[in-house]
Structure 1
Amino acid sequence: MTKTNPGRFFEDYEVGEVIRHAVPRTVKMGERALYHALYPARHALHSSDAFAQICGLPFSPLDDLVTFHTVFGKTVPDVSLNAVANLGYAEGRWITPLWPGDTVTATSEVIGLKQNSNGRSGIVWVRTTGRNQHGETLLSYVRWVMVRRRAEGPAPEPVVPELAAAVAVEDLVVPEGLNFKGYDFGLAGEPHRWGDYAVGEVIDHVDGVTVEEAEHMMATRLWQNTAKVHFDATLREDGRRLIYGGHVISLARALSFNGLANAQMIVGLNGGAHANPCFAGDTVRCWSEVLDKAETAAPGVGALRLRLVAVKDGGESAPTLKGSDGKYLPHVLLDLDYWALIPL
């Protein structure tokens, strides 16, 4: 009997199955330090206990994307170890902040299956939930991946889930106690508040970061993401290791500080696509488009729906994403639609 785990293949999934992921992960200030070292992350609420206390929180929570990466990493051995590509996200909601010292666990429910026409792979949809040691939900989201088949065979009956185009404003969860009435714009780094942004506005975030092999390898290990394509150069014909898509998300989110320094917390993930592969040596730049605005019930707290687009090298800074064939242009790396909380 083999004792190693070859990973799941497309035919190993059943709709309705709930997968309990190993291994629990306790996160502390070390994860914050490494996160801020790997990315130019500097949003004030995730950097300073004193600033968080001004905003009504007991101390500074870990970055929202630390929650995402930690939960995502738990799922990889069971969901995407044999993935060809991670295709998209939907219905993501951050429910409870992740505090230093919390222990993260994750489960995923298989909610859809569809074999590809080539018979060699298929699409698997899962709804993943990350929880803390108290059983409280930290984060819930849907993602879909293209997974290899072990062998050719009859296709299962396709089940394609219906997913919301966006998380409804009333379903966004504002952390308990969050209050932006006494918000310090000087310490945050920019004066721009909710009312300064207009739907349809496009913000060029100006700065760029060249992806280094060592940094993306360290990041992928940090999140305990074991997907083979990120480590084993022999798995691709070009001999290159694929950059973990979440690494690009965090780079782009950090770069968006220049122009969106006050978009302090991510609370909703409406949709997203890793449009093209990213490799070491690529230079990532990004821009954001304001898609929608809403007020919340929390004191002084508004929400912006933002489209964050990352491009590589000489890619355009203007909102041109797809060609006439409807496919993403080769320079587009990421197309992410999310909700963030910002002072009114």
Structure 2
Amino acid sequence: MAKTNPGRFFEDYTVGQQIQHAVPRTVTVGERALYHALYPARHALYSSDEFARGCGLPGAPLDDLAAFHIVFGKTVPDISLNAVANLGYGEGRWLKPAYPGDTLRARSTVIGLKQNSNGKTGVVYVRSEGLNQRDELVMSFCRWVMVKKRDVEAPAPETVVPDLAQAIAPGDLVIPEGLDFTSYDFALAGEAHRWSDYEIGEQIDHVDGVTIEDAEHMMATRLWQNTSKVHFDATLRADGQRLIYGGHVISLARALSFNGLANAQMIAGLNAGAHANPCFAGTTVHAWSEVLDKAETTAPGVGAIRLRLVARSGGEAFTLKDAAGRYLPHVLLDLDYWALIPL
């Protein structure tokens, strides 16, 4: 009897199915160091225990996206091992910071299914949750993935597409306990721009670019214990290329956004996200942002800013879609998120 696991295929999912994911992960300062080595990540709150303590936290947490990648990676063997592509995100909320010493695990619920017209693949919608060793929710997010069918003759399931909120309401954002920006040190943070300096509709070109290499991408994807075959096995694609993990592009774009948004310290909500076009080694990534909304919070000195973050492989900054509403070929990522910033 075979003991290896080929992973789930589209017909293995049912709406309402609950999946407990294997291999909890205890995080250390090593994850932080590797995250900052893999990306030009330098937001002060995650770089300095002293800066974080000055903002009311017990120390520097693990970068929000590093925690996201760890939880995401736990879900891959059960959700996207046989994925063609990870398509999008919604209703993401960071509920509690993760600190070195915390153990993260994940669970998911299937909330939708839709077979594609070609009959060879289908879209699986899940809501995944990350928990710490105290069974406290650290984060929750929805994503949808295109997954291969094992048997193209298998009947299509009833189509269920979840109705997800277009954006997290500002009042539903969770502010980390103790966070206080009233004594925020702008000089140490790297920029003087605060919440009141940004206008809705303002666009920011983050200027810098980074060329992605296979080696760093594969190291990052292994770090998150993401086992999706398309990221490692070059024989799975006709062009012989490994697909760059979409989260790698997210973290790279977020790190590039430091230039212009250095004080957008913590990610609190993920409203929507799409990997518009595939990314491969050798691609040089640039990023730009647009301010979509602003809101005050109940935490002292803390504001919320809603941002569109776009990663591009070329083309002009601030270009996104064509006249028909399709993403332009140079657009890699379109991410809509809430960040916490000093007032």
Q: Give the aligned partner of residue 342 of structure 1.
A: 341
Hey, what's the Cα distance between the residues in 2 that align with 1:212 and 1:120?
31
Q: Give the aligned partner of residue 224 of structure 1.
A: 225
- Compute the displacement of 1:115 (Å): 0.6
Amino acid at match of 1:195: S
- Structure 1's unaligned 5+ residue stretches are none
TM-score (norm 1): 0.99
Q: Give the aligned partner of residue 320 of structure 2.
A: 321
- Compute the displacement of 1:316 (Å): 1.1
Amino acid at match of 2:177: E
Amino acid at match of 2:88: G
- Compute the displacement of 1:322 (Å): 1.2
Q: Give the aligned partner of residue 163 of structure 1.
A: 164
- Answering whether residue 254 of structure 2 is matched by residue 253 of structure 1, we say yes
1:54-90 Cα deviation digits (max 9, x unpaired): 1001111010001100000000000000011100000
SS in 1 for 2:334: strand
Amino acid at match of 1:277: P
Q: Give the aligned partner of residue 188 of structure 2.
A: 187
Q: Give the aligned partner of residue 207 of structure 2.
A: 206
Hey, what's the Cα distance between the residues in 2 that align with 1:88 and 1:165?
13
- Answering whether residue 12 of structure 2 is matched by residue 9 of structure 1, we say no
- Compute the displacement of 1:326 (Å): 2.1
Count of matched residue positions in the alignment of Structure 1 and Structure 2: 342
SS in 2 for 1:22: coil
Hey, what's the Cα distance between the residues in 1 that align with 2:299 and 2:189?
19
- Compute the displacement of 1:324 (Å): 2.3
Hey, what's the Cα distance between the residues in 2 that align with 1:248 and 1:116?
26
Hey, what's the Cα distance between the residues in 1 that align with 2:82 and 2:58?
41
- Structure 2's unaligned 5+ residue stretches are none
Hey, what's the Cα distance between the residues in 2 that align with 1:327 and 1:147?
22
- Answering whether residue 316 of structure 2 is matched by residue 330 of structure 1, we say no
SS in 2 for 1:304: strand
Hey, what's the Cα distance between the residues in 2 that align with 1:320 and 1:29?
38
Amino acid at match of 2:2: T
Q: Give the aligned partner of residue 154 of structure 1.
A: 155
Equivalent positions of 1:289-308 (< 5 A) are: 289-308=290-309
Hey, what's the Cα distance between the residues in 2 that align with 1:25 and 1:277?
29
Hey, what's the Cα distance between the residues in 2 that align with 1:281 and 1:148?
27
TM-score (norm 2): 0.99
- Answering whether residue 133 of structure 2 is matched by residue 133 of structure 1, we say yes
- Compute the displacement of 1:323 (Å): 1.4
Q: Give the aligned partner of residue 24 of structure 1.
A: 24
Amino acid at match of 2:331: V
- Compute the displacement of 1:6 (Å): 0.4
SS in 1 for 2:274: strand
Hey, what's the Cα distance between the residues in 1 that align with 2:199 and 2:33?
34
- Answering whether residue 60 of structure 2 is matched by residue 60 of structure 1, we say yes
Hey, what's the Cα distance between the residues in 1 that align with 2:171 and 2:2?
49
Hey, what's the Cα distance between the residues in 2 that align with 1:302 and 1:29?
28
1:31-70 Cα deviation digits (max 9, x unpaired): 0000000000000000001000110011110100011000
Hey, what's the Cα distance between the residues in 2 that align with 1:76 and 1:154?
25
SS in 1 for 2:22: strand
- Answering whether residue 123 of structure 2 is matched by residue 123 of structure 1, we say yes
Hey, what's the Cα distance between the residues in 1 that align with 2:117 and 2:323?
24
- Compute the displacement of 1:325 (Å): 2.7
1:165-209 Cα deviation digits (max 9, x unpaired): 000111100000000000000000000000000000000000000
The sequence identity of aligned pairs, in percent, is 76
Hey, what's the Cα distance between the residues in 1 that align with 2:280 and 2:135?
37
Amino acid at match of 1:291: L
Instruction: Calculate the aligned-residue CA RMSD, in Å.
Output: 0.6
SS in 2 for 1:23: coil
Q: Give the aligned partner of residue 92 of structure 1.
A: 92
Hey, what's the Cα distance between the residues in 1 that align with 2:150 and 2:124?
14
SS in 2 for 1:242: coil
Hey, what's the Cα distance between the residues in 2 that align with 1:213 and 1:303?
35
Equivalent positions of 1:26-41 (< 5 A) are: 26-41=26-41
